[in-house]
Structure 1
């Protein structure tokens, strides 16, 4: 029946138009504080997907219902064959569509219809209550008056004075939209008129406003937006903020839909205290790969002008501050291309105009740890038992307190191969090979070939294993004259060749035990690792990419105490270690884990870097790692190193986390590190953070991150959060180290989160997720590493481009 077909378009007009104005949120909204009762309850359980277990999207429902017949029932039927009238509780069903009214009149000759009296419509996407619905099917004009609606999947609901449709064009008159319950309208989007073109996929809102309670907070006299999944050229939601460094900050993204598989976004930005910034992003996607290009440019930066004035007035300069005022910017490209199922080409290229750019663009202390940018391009392969690649990378300084001489060597290019093959169950052979060309403007150039074939016998049983391994490492260099002279090496092609022998053995014991009435599996895992490497003089070999590993639990079982092939440490040592775990029998939960180990050195080490303290005959520091969960909510971790030579600790770390009800969390940590040789303290910090729910709606957050060694606050946060069904508000006060000069900054951040629509204010959630480990318990990560290729601003993000 054509009536059912046409009535489908009317609610879709509502379902798409108002929510389309909402911004996509990275984290799904939490509707836990909402009432169970829907704004508009289901009319018919047989067609309600939430009640009968049907899980179809609206698009899937439309495709299926197109092939289904329409059923009409009513208390009575009158009229002729061409002019039918149904009275008394009229019902119309087709697939997931359901229409109900007191009266329904259809004139087959003129194509006119009228539904009156408690008109109700329902499908898999929405529910509608209206006073009347009438129209002309032949002229394709339709009207619904005095209606209320609810979106099933997005929880949005609202109403309209009238909806008018003429073919693909429609208009919503006096419409509203909110995800709040009708009785508690914390926020609401209102529009005087919304015109919709379903063929083109556009909607135009006139006189639109957002209200918090009864107070209008944003007015948009005219706004054009998409109403379907198609991408359209137009304005995206602006980002507005204010800070002491940037002043009033306004960024207006402009989206350009260039083709189905590539697009672009222009990012003009104005900062009242700094000037204009122009940015852009280009994305592409095709069958075998994808890529993204990001660009930012500032013609002139008033922030640097103010810095120059401060220096002229006597303020000190720090490091190699470039003081660049004009043409500041960055560029970044990330992309990949799949050649076949084994090989992929990848590129990650970044550039900045000056070494202070990242700090000036970032909004927190987290981006300050980046000391350099690494750009890499290469061809990478992976198969059964092998990995290989050829690539090139270069370094750019991103820390103005350092100089270019501190940068690592560029590798132009690097080729590598890792291959391993098992023969039966007791023999493994493999090879690790690498060839690199190193380049550095301040240190000189050279090449290195490193080959390490090995063979091992992995023998094992149910409760034991023993793996002897024999490897041979051959490393050869080709040095340019400037590097050769700086090393004082008369040989331009020095080499090193030596065997590496190791034996890794262990036992596994377990038993069932009971602690406080609960059954546990206790394990005892002693392990022995012997390493023997003869001494080779390596003092005249270059040091391209090798450094000493930080002593830790993992270092007990490595065959080299240095990273990279430039140094192979001599060794005659034995590691004795033991581990024990208590696993809850019912679910495998680890209640307790203990690790203890120590290396016994049978001789002094002879391979050392200049200034490095050699390893002396005797015993290493004891390494202890432990984790304990007193309850399912508590987790306590401890790392400790005790040096028997100096009778003092080299490292101490304590971590404790308690999970409060309702997503609450409390973190406490202490970190201490000491240089054993010089007996100086390197680091001593304490960190306390929490999210404490006062009740279901209110919670407080905070962090106190303090350097005990420097007697200085690194970051302090205090904030309050209020949450409801459809609205959340966060207010955060911060004091933190803003730059490498140690300058402190104060900030007040306020954010209003209109669930299902978007947010206004500064991104407080990003700040809290970084500062409080386990904030909302969905990403337990630490501060990002110090080597990064930034995407521009500290708060920038990008989405995936879909074909």
Structure 2
């Protein structure tokens, strides 16, 4: 017998072609599936191991009896062929060495690291590389799935599977199944073609496709992606059919034709590219006419000056990309353009889209070294809120040059500098230029249980203003001095205050010090590490008159815990606070020593102002001598499932509550969660948010959210839904009602999604909606940064294939 006898190639690629369409982007739970295998592992088969190149591996053949002639070998009884992780078993095996043909019959069994199958008979010609296998049942090992076929015929890299089935359900409980009359496979090309394919839910066919071409491996191919279908009060019947184009190994494109019965047709597109030094994504959408605008134009009180023209086309363009110039410098761009100021509102499906007042485009070159960072960039703002004018847009920075440097010199000395030069431009306001330089030196003294960090900085800010802005600032200063309105100031009265090159310089000194105490303690039999962490932060900066300086990109910070330890209460250099103040803060924590779990954390702090803060931004109330509001924050976990937290700010001077926030979370079982949050900030908002995922049974669960604004006495978003899960099939149905316009108009949508585990899903992406609305819908989100998927994609487009490798 030839020692190089090849183990049968068998239907590996063919059996894997059906689940090749599976959607693996979402985590699939198989918790409700039976533990036992559909086809148990065969006795005598080698332990599963990853498949690789088996060409050079030896093949061994065993059997109870060996007969026949030298040219025609016959193995009988418990025949077993093994090579690496491959195993072929049969009752009988006949091999004709002259013709290089074989016949295996009687309980034919095959197994490797990826698949197990049983068949009635297998025969073929090794020299011609032709094979036929009859009456097959298979089970995938590396990914869940099982099925069968009447016959498999193969020749080289091509093959035919006749009357095949595939499902991830147990054979005794077929919730869904994919059947095909015939499947042709070409492993070299990476394609499979199914003819007469039917998807069944239970006994009922729900989708019939006479011809379907699909990929059978990880290679990318041009074709259709799963469609998205939904109904809503704003769009009506909404159907989107993505079309994917595999243009080259390193770039591709996707078209998103979409039809909305109440609004019209829309075409979205996305182009992605990747090369050794960078990558990028271009996307856009275009809608020739939008019936929503025509309906809005017929409403009473319609203002054509503040709304897009109903006859205009609508669209957007966005680009995000980067290019690595070298290991230090990178060029990046994030560009966005929208056709009108109501685009984000009309094409968004979340509250975030309603809250956006502007969109920004930026591009630049950025560098990062061991002790420095810097860049040259520019940005431009576009209005996306029709209720306001372009006067409220931020200034464009065209361009901005910045550099940050911080370096230790020995153990006790650190020096650094923050520097920035910006040219500000605005379509409705005069602009100017600003240079801000802030060198500093600090001495970080610290030990195991203490730290003292004195810092001395000098801030110099200089401007070059356009004439119109210099005149405006002079009129404002003169009006304040004379006690009249700015529009009543004459040029002569404003002349003494006019300065087209104002500047400001001042020193800033701070001292940050803290202690760390800890002790071991025991509570109800559990050992904890109890910490006590007092901290002091002293800030001193002299007063410099700054009314003659413009406000380009600066506003006051919201008062918070972090703001108590900054050297400026403003976001930018247009205002530098004067200060003679001391922050006193205290934190404590209880850490479970067995695993580091934080049972309790609490912090409280307050600023003592020794002098009045005279520097203010326009419309800001000055900070007077005395005490700031108390800032307190606490989190307590009475059990591993309960988490309770609160934040509170109380101003003793005015005896009023500035901020109150209460939050609670409880975890049910492996995936249930309930969240309750109340937020109140004086003169700004008062809201409550309740959301939950409650498992009624292992298969049934209910989900919901109620998000309410007390100031407007209006629901911002409401969700009610039910989920049913089984081993291989999941169904989610949601009713969602949410604010869709800045006038408070509501939209109602009904979403249904069928998830055929191991194959894909049909309907809208309800998981995306629920993950955004219910923190903890994915349990892992509780331990990571909350999902950043609240920004709506252009025209709500479907998900394209994975990024290009």
TM-score class, shorter: over 0.9
| 2:739 alignment partner in structure 1 | 737
| Cα shift at 1:258 | 1.7
The equivalent position to 1:169 in structure 2, one of 143, 158, 166, is 158
The answer to whether residue 328 in structure 2 is matched with residue 331 in structure 1 is no
Query: Take 1:353 and 1:92, find their aligned partners in 2: how far apart are those partners?
Result: 67
Q: Deviations over 1:530-554 (max 9, x none)?
A: 1111111111111010000000111
| 1:578 alignment partner in structure 2 | 586
Structure-2 change in CA distance of 1:799 and 1:231 (3 Å): closer
The equivalent position to 2:100 in structure 1, one of 79, 95, 111, is 111
| Cα shift at 1:688 | 1.1
The worse-fitting range, judged by mean Cα deviation, of 474-483 and 354-363 is 354-363
Q: Deviations over 1:533-581 (max 9, x none)?
A: 1111111111010000000111111111101000001111111111111
Conserved? CA contact 1:372–1:407, under 8 Å: yes
Query: Take 1:361 and 1:191, find their aligned partners in 2: how far apart are those partners?
Result: 39
Structure-2 change in CA distance of 1:798 and 1:645 (3 Å): farther
The worse-fitting range, judged by mean Cα deviation, of 24-33 and 596-605 is 24-33
The equivalent position to 1:381 in structure 2, one of 356, 363, 367, is 367
Conserved? CA contact 2:85–2:113, under 8 Å: yes
Query: Take 2:102 and 2:136, find their aligned partners in 1: how far apart are those partners?
Result: 18
The answer to whether residue 412 in structure 2 is matched with residue 426 in structure 1 is yes
| 1:537 alignment partner in structure 2 | 545
RMSD of the alignment, in Å? 1.9
The answer to whether residue 552 in structure 2 is matched with residue 547 in structure 1 is no
Query: Take 1:39 and 1:481, find their aligned partners in 2: how far apart are those partners?
Result: 82
| 2:20 alignment partner in structure 1 | 20
Structure-2 change in CA distance of 1:785 and 1:155 (3 Å): closer
Conserved? CA contact 1:294–1:791, under 8 Å: no
The answer to whether residue 517 in structure 2 is matched with residue 509 in structure 1 is yes
The equivalent position to 2:598 in structure 1, one of 590, 601, 626, is 590
Conserved? CA contact 2:346–2:740, under 8 Å: no
Query: Take 1:598 and 1:467, find their aligned partners in 2: how far apart are those partners?
Result: 20
**2:14 match: secondary structure:** helix
| 2:11 alignment partner in structure 1 | 10
Structure-2 change in CA distance of 1:270 and 1:4 (3 Å): farther
The answer to whether residue 658 in structure 2 is matched with residue 650 in structure 1 is yes
| 1:557 alignment partner in structure 2 | 565
The answer to whether residue 310 in structure 2 is matched with residue 321 in structure 1 is no
Conserved? CA contact 1:364–1:794, under 8 Å: no
Query: Take 2:210 and 2:800, find their aligned partners in 1: how far apart are those partners?
Result: 29
Conserved? CA contact 1:370–1:785, under 8 Å: no
| 1:438 alignment partner in structure 2 | 424
| Cα shift at 1:601 | 0.7
Taking structure 1 as the reference length, what is the TM-score of the superposition? 0.94
| Cα shift at 1:714 | 1.4
| 1:249 alignment partner in structure 2 | 238
Query: Take 1:48 and 1:89, find their aligned partners in 2: how far apart are those partners?
Result: 18
Taking structure 2 as the reference length, what is the TM-score of the superposition? 0.94
**1:105 match: secondary structure:** strand
| Cα shift at 1:324 | 4.3
| 1:678 alignment partner in structure 2 | none
| 1:80 alignment partner in structure 2 | 69
Correspondences of 1:281-300 after superposition (within 5 Å) = 281-300=270-289
Conserved? CA contact 1:328–1:353, under 8 Å: yes
Correspondences of 1:107-506 after superposition (within 5 Å) = 107-309=96-298, 311=299, 314=300, 316-317=302-303, 320-488=306-474, 490-506=498-514
| 1:631 alignment partner in structure 2 | 639
| Cα shift at 1:434 | 0.5
Conserved? CA contact 1:44–1:98, under 8 Å: no
Structure-2 change in CA distance of 1:68 and 1:785 (3 Å): closer
The equivalent position to 1:684 in structure 2, one of 683, 686, 708, is 686
Query: Take 1:642 and 1:290, find their aligned partners in 2: how far apart are those partners?
Result: 49
| 1:723 alignment partner in structure 2 | 725
Conserved? CA contact 1:379–1:390, under 8 Å: yes
Query: Take 1:649 and 1:453, find their aligned partners in 2: how far apart are those partners?
Result: 38
| 2:52 alignment partner in structure 1 | 62
| Cα shift at 1:796 | 4.6
The answer to whether residue 678 in structure 2 is matched with residue 670 in structure 1 is yes
Query: Take 1:566 and 1:573, find their aligned partners in 2: how far apart are those partners?
Result: 21
| Cα shift at 1:480 | 1.2
Conserved? CA contact 1:11–1:128, under 8 Å: no
Q: Deviations over 1:55-90 (max 9, x none)?
A: x2xxxx231x21111111111111222211111111
Structure-2 change in CA distance of 1:801 and 1:716 (3 Å): closer
| Cα shift at 1:637 | 0.9
| Cα shift at 1:782 | 5.2
Structure-2 change in CA distance of 1:469 and 1:293 (3 Å): same
**1:739 match: secondary structure:** coil
| 2:489 alignment partner in structure 1 | none
| 1:760 alignment partner in structure 2 | 762
Which segments of 5 or more consecutive residues in structure 1 lack a partner in the other structure?
Answer: 675-680
The worse-fitting range, judged by mean Cα deviation, of 470-479 and 25-34 is 25-34
| Cα shift at 1:402 | 1.9
| Cα shift at 1:403 | 1.5
Q: Deviations over 1:286-317 (max 9, x none)?
A: 111111111211122222222223x2xx2545
Structure-2 change in CA distance of 1:791 and 1:392 (3 Å): farther
Query: Take 1:502 and 1:647, find their aligned partners in 2: how far apart are those partners?
Result: 30
The worse-fitting range, judged by mean Cα deviation, of 97-106 and 262-271 is 262-271
Structure-2 change in CA distance of 1:39 and 1:567 (3 Å): same
Query: Take 1:588 and 1:380, find their aligned partners in 2: how far apart are those partners?
Result: 38
Query: Take 2:787 and 2:739, find their aligned partners in 1: how far apart are those partners?
Result: 15
Which segments of 5 or more consecutive residues in structure 2 lack a partner in the other structure?
Answer: 475-496
Query: Take 1:102 and 1:736, find their aligned partners in 2: how far apart are those partners?
Result: 66
Query: Take 2:247 and 2:216, find their aligned partners in 1: how far apart are those partners?
Result: 18
Conserved? CA contact 2:772–2:789, under 8 Å: no
**1:775 match: secondary structure:** coil
| 2:667 alignment partner in structure 1 | 659
Query: Take 1:550 and 1:331, find their aligned partners in 2: how far apart are those partners?
Result: 33
Structure-2 change in CA distance of 1:237 and 1:184 (3 Å): same
